[in-house]
């Protein structure tokens, strides 16, 4: 083999490698879109409706969606007899789809369910034919969001469900070791990112 033949072979190998990278990225992107669709569909289906904490129900659905996306990749590999997608790619698809879906789910749906800002803006939009003082908005928040919508009760029940607090024999409640560990993590995160200390050091 002369130098020209060697260079041609080297160039072909480079082109083949670039194609494999592009095809791999496209495959990952398509599988993520599919996993996102799976996640939305699973959440909308009446599955695990008894799990009242949206965050935890969402995590289960995200994992299931990631598994389904990984299985699709396995089937695709066998169907097309693709050698450049390996078991490593199957694992990466699961990790990436779950990670991206988790970021989206916690930033958007969970925020919509819990956010004070979402409630405040939505209420003012619904009754936009009038203006409000700051005290009026605060009073509406307490009357509607806290009292009528039982915002505190929902969060309290979540902590009972997750085991962060427990009920004592006399009907009172105490924080558990799990709850203390979570608080330590919150305080560490607060120190690192310099958030409002009043929430973690009330």
Pairing of β 173-175 and β 165-167: antiparallel
pLDDT band at 124 (very low <50, low <70, confident <90, very high): very high
Among 62, 79, 114, the domain-final residue is 114
Residue 44 has pLDDT above 60, yes or no: yes
Among 95, 114, 133, the domain-final residue is 114
pLDDT band at 126 (very low <50, low <70, confident <90, very high): very high
pLDDT band at 48 (very low <50, low <70, confident <90, very high): confident
Per DSSP, 50 falls in state T
- Do 86 and 134 lie in one domain? The reply is no
Q: How many domains does the chain have?
A: 2
Per DSSP, 142 falls in state I
Among 114, 147, 177, the domain-final residue is 114
From the CB of residue 106, how many other CB atoms can be counted at a distance below 10 Å?
14
How far is residue 140's CA from residue 133's CA, in Å, rounded to a whole number? 11
Give the model's pLDDT for residue 77.
Answer: 83
How far is residue 63's CA from residue 66's CA, in Å, rounded to a whole number? 5
Query: Whole-model pTM?
Result: 0.72
- Do 9 and 107 lie in one domain? The reply is yes
How far is residue 137's CA from residue 131's CA, in Å, rounded to a whole number? 10
Check if the beta carbon of residue 138 is closer than 8 Å to that of residue 124: no
pLDDT band at 13 (very low <50, low <70, confident <90, very high): low
What is the gyration radius of the CA atoms in the chain, in angstroms? Answer: 25
Task: Read off the pLDDT of each residue in 157-176 and give the average, rounded to a whole number.
Answer: 92
pLDDT band at 112 (very low <50, low <70, confident <90, very high): confident
Which residues form the domain of 135? 118-199
Residue 79 has pLDDT above 80, yes or no: yes
From the CB of residue 66, how many other CB atoms can be counted at a distance below 10 Å?
25
- Do 126 and 167 lie in one domain? The reply is yes
As a whole-number percent, the residues of the chain with pLDDT over 70 amount to 92
- Do 107 and 188 lie in one domain? The reply is no
- Do 126 and 109 lie in one domain? The reply is no
pLDDT in tens, 184-199: 998 998 898 888 888 7
């Amino acid at each position: 083999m002369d130098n020209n033949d060697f260079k041609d072979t080297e160039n072909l190998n480079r082109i083949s490698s670039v194609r494999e990278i592009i095809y791999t990225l496209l495959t990952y992107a398509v599988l993520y879109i599919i996993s996102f669709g799976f996640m939305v569909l699973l959440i909308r289906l009446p599955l695990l409706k008894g799990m009242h904490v949206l965050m935890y129900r969402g995590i289960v659905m995200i994992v299931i969606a990631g598994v389904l996306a990984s299985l699709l990749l396995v089937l695709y590999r066998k169907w097309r007899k693709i050698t450049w997608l390996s078991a490593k790619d199957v694992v990466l698809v699961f990790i990436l789809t779950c990670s991206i879906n988790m970021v989206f789910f916690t930033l958007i749906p969970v925020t919509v369910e819990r956010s004070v800002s979402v409630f405040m803006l939505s209420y003012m939009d619904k009754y936009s034919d009038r203006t409000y003082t700051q005290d009026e908005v605060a009073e509406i928040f307490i009357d509607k969001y806290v009292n009528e919508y039982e915002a505190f009760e929902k969060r309290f029940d979540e902590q009972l469900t997750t085991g962060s607090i427990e009920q004592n024999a006399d009907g009172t409640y105490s924080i558990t070791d799990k709850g203390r560990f979570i608080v330590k993590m919150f305080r560490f995160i607060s120190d690192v990112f310099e958030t409002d200390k009043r929430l973690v050091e009330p």
